[in-house]
């Protein structure tokens, strides 16, 4: 048995998300379908981050076990040859059998992109926000979540987890003209957490929520307190640290 690690980029616009689901095409499902064809055996592909429908990845990491002797370079080329063009494998390598894309990951980084004017060319990976936004206030809110916190207020109700404690090591907003960019790195993320954080920080940036209220939302540990979730299209899983 061998364990193969993949580095994957995808445009999530036309998928139900990373995870296999009955209601449509998933990234995981597409990769498993092509691997089955290439390796002539059924494989289970484990992803480091289970991105939602419409969410993208520049640096998703996945792994699968196989009894095939096909070289990693052949697997890599066959995947890119057979996958649809909105999924690209950047790297394939053999790793120790105990490597697990999800459980071995120590940190994940997501980015979020907002445009304050509509954009045709970037519309698939940017959220158009019609309000004028104070990025300094948003960056203050971003800085307030750095450290170890209970993020229950920013977690989807159905999330099946024991606790909501995450350690955020980086959380920063920056602006380049009409484009705002958020970057957040943490040891783990709860379901819907980045989009809920971004939506609430947009409320801060447009003056609807004060910094004090933002801190109260974080303290409340109550999912009803947070703002509307930001659109899936602005979110990109950038990288995984092992």
Catalytic residue numbers read: 52
> Which of 46, 78, 87, 230 is the binder for a second copy (CB under 8 A)?
87
Residues 6+ apart with CB under 8 A from 219: none
Binding flag, residue 120, a second copy (CB under 8 A): yes
Yes or no: say if 174 and 180 are a contact pair by the CB < 8 Å rule.
Answer: yes
9 has which bridge partners? 88
Task: Let me know: does 183 contact 145? Beta carbons within 8 Å.
Answer: no
157 lies in the binding site for a second copy (CB under 8 A): no
77: left (phi over 0), alpha (psi -120 to 50) or beta: alpha
Half-sphere exposure of 136 (CA within 13 A, CB side): 0
Is 236 one of the binding residues for a second copy (CB under 8 A)? Answer: yes
Q: What is the spatial distance between Cα 143 and Cα 139, in angstroms, rounded to a whole number?
A: 6
Residue whose C-alpha is closest to residue 118's, from 233, 206, 17, 226: 233
3-class SS of residue 137 = helix
- The verdict on 90 binding a second copy (CB under 8 A) reads yes
Answer yes or no: are the C-beta atoms of 44 and 63 closer than 8 Å. Answer: no
Minimum distance, C-beta of residue 163 to a second copy, in the bound complex (Å): 33
Q: Which of 21, 53, 119, 140 binds a second copy (CB under 8 A)?
A: 119
The interface region with a second copy, picked from 38-46, 62-70, 115-123, 197-205 by CB under 8 A, is: 115-123
Is the CB of 22 or the CB of 120 nearer to a second copy?
120
Piece of the chain touching a second copy by CB under 8 A; list 122-130, 154-162, 214-222, 223-231: 122-130
Does residue 118 bind a second copy (CB under 8 A)? yes
Pick the binder of a second copy from 1, 85, 132, 163 (CB under 8 A). 85
Q: For residues 126 and 171, which CB has a smaller minimum distance to a second copy in the complex?
A: 126
CB of 108 to a second copy, least distance (A): 18
Which residues of the chain form contacts with a second copy (CB under 8 A)?
9-11, 56, 58, 80, 85-88, 90, 117-121, 123-125, 236
């Amino acid at each position: 048995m061998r364990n193969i690690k993949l580095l994957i980029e995808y445009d999530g616009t036309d998928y139900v998300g990373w995870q296999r689901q009955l209601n449509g095409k998933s990234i995981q499902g597409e990769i498993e379908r092509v691997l089955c064809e290439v390796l002539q055996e059924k494989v289970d592909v484990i992803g480091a981050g289970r991105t939602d429908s419409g969410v993208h990845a520049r640096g998703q990491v996945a792994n699968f076990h196989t009894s095939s002797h096909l070289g990693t370079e052949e697997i890599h080329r066959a995947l890119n040859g057979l996958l649809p063009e909105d999924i690209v494998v950047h790297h394939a390598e053999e790793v120790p059998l105990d490597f697990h894309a999800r459980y071995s990951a120590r940190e994940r980084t997501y980015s979020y992109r907002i445009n304050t004017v509509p954009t045709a060319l970037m519309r698939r990976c940017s959220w158009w926000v019609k309000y004028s936004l104070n990025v300094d206030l948003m960056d203050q809110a971003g800085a307030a979540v750095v450290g170890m916190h209970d993020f229950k207020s920013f977690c989807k109700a159905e999330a099946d987890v024991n606790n909501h404690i995450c350690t955020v090591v980086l959380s920063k907003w920056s602006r380049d003209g009409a484009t705002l960019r958020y970057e957040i790195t943490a040891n783990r993320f709860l379901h819907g957490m980045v989009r809920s954080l971004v939506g609430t920080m947009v409320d801060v940036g447009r003056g609807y929520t004060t910094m004090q209220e933002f801190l109260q939302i974080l303290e409340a540990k109550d999912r009803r307190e947070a703002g509307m979730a930001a659109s899936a299209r602005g979110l990109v899983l950038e990288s995984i640290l092992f």
